[in-house]
Amino acid sequence: MNAVDPRRWQALIVLAAAQFMVIMDTSIIGVALPDMQRDLGFSPGGLQWVFNAYVIAFGGLLLLGGRLSDLLGARRVFTTGWIILIAGSVTAAAASTAWVEILGRAVQGVGGALIAPASMTLLMMLFGHDRRELGKAMALYGAAAPAGGTAGVFLGGVITEYLSWPWVFIVYVPIGLLTLAAVPTLLPAVQGRRGSLDVLGAVAVTAGIALAVFAIVRAPEQGWSSAATLAELAGAVALLVAFLLIQRGVREPLMPLAIWRTPGLAVANLAMALLGAAWIPMWYFLNLYLQQVLGYGAFAGGAALLPMTVAIMIFMVGVTARLLGRFGAKPLVTGGLLVLAAGAVGLSLVRPDGAFASDVLPASLVAAVGMSLAYIPAMMSALSGARPEDSGLASGIVNTTYQVGSALGLAVMTAIATSQGAAEAGGVSRLTDGFQAAFIGAGIVAAAGAVLTLVLMRRPEPVTIEADREQEAVRA
């Protein structure tokens, strides 16, 4: 058994900060987009690729990042990811044309796809010796993801309003350098496994996921039944089927299909996909409601989301871990998704002449509590049954699932909101109609996730402190 690392909690700060920054990269650019469009000459249709380039690279390469973490060693991949993320940030900040900006965002996504699964592998290595410590560590680490997504809106507003849009990328450079300086001292040097990389499988799955996300985010513009959308989705399906066939035939596959026999992995991934498909659209349209209907500026709109961030941090760090140890994952994932559904439906009652205190704050806090209750238990359920040597792969799978679910949910809810008037020049009334429809859709997705979790997820036998001690005695 490996010795317990005395610096594991300091190491956790580095890993949680990395997760915070990686997820924040998807949201910090939101309020800066109008300024970027003006300065770089983006077309209205092309502007979305400042966001999409990151999401496609991040979601499409997470599985490969998990495999590289297992083969090359998690600390080495973590370090490489930060170097790439810094390079992408410099490119995006210095861009003077639209295509260079998109390139920089894609490079950032590649770096994030290496950092996220390597961080999870390192966390499992540092805290896998103790189930209770692992739960606490996962709570802190898990809180960093949604907090980063929400905080990015606020920080992006502050930076854009008081500095300029390139600073939303420049901020990653000093933080990245500080992280790299802390790596040799705080993070364990995890040895990689001998083996080969399934390059053909990596190309197939990355291209398949990227093409699927590409088709999804373009579908509202092209039309869900258009020939282009159907061809792109068919191509994505063909690539993913080819990936599965490759995995059956190669000696060292990128994703051994046997990993899906890991207890709880498949159902937990389904729950994570639906959680992302409900939470991200709800957060996205709430931000639009604050700015486009209530008239909040960049700074005020970001500040209005701070209560959600605080609620997420309090519940994930102080409540969810304790409840997970007492009740297990299934009740929390099911209950959390139901609470999130209630919050989303509550937000569907927003009015064109609404107020933050009455229309937004109560329902948004309910939704934040639901997210806090479901996220950590779903993640733990997906990873807890995996062998230590497969933790990077399992982490890549569950993060990919969450990102793809988020992209799909956002695309679908955008199409719903558009069909209900959010794209029409009908003033705040029509905008509100579209946003209300998107909130209802997010609530339906969350409720469906709760029902499927209740039906499909198995509830393991509770593990008591006495049982833990007996198991340790047997191992001794």
- What pLDDT digit, counting tens, does each position of 317-366 carry? 778 778 877 888 889 999 999 999 999 999 999 998 888 899 999 999 99
- Same structural domain, 158 and 19: yes
Please give the tally of structural domains in the chain: 3
476 pLDDT above the threshold of 50: no
- Same structural domain, 207 and 145: no
The percentage of residues in the chain with a pLDDT greater than 70, rounded to a whole number, is 87
- Same structural domain, 277 and 378: yes
- What pLDDT digit, counting tens, does each position of 430-439 carry? 888 888 999 9
Domain, as residue range, for 246: 198-253
Choose the final residue of a domain: 147, 163, 191.
Answer: 191
- Same structural domain, 211 and 275: no
- Same structural domain, 160 and 139: yes
- Same structural domain, 222 and 333: no
Residue type, 211: L
- Same structural domain, 361 and 402: yes
- Same structural domain, 387 and 308: yes
End-to-end Cα distance, the chain? 10
pLDDT band for position 369 (50/70/90)? very high
- Same structural domain, 235 and 291: no
Burial bucket for residue 324 (CB in 10 Å: 0-12, 13-18, 19+): buried
- Same structural domain, 234 and 263: no
Residue 80 near residue 26 (C-beta atoms within 8 A): no
- What pLDDT digit, counting tens, does each position of 245-255 carry? 998 888 878 77
Choose the final residue of a domain: 253, 269, 292.
Answer: 253
- What pLDDT digit, counting tens, does each position of 75-102 carry? 899 999 999 999 999 999 999 898 899 9
- Same structural domain, 52 and 181: yes
- Distance, in Å, from the CA atom of 120 to the CA atom of 261, rounded to the nearest integer, reads 20
- CATH code assigned at 297: 1.20.1250.20
Check residue 236 and give its pLDDT.
92
Choose the final residue of a domain: 164, 191, 218.
Answer: 191
> CA 212, 145, 143: angle at the middle one, nearest 5?
145
- Same structural domain, 148 and 271: no
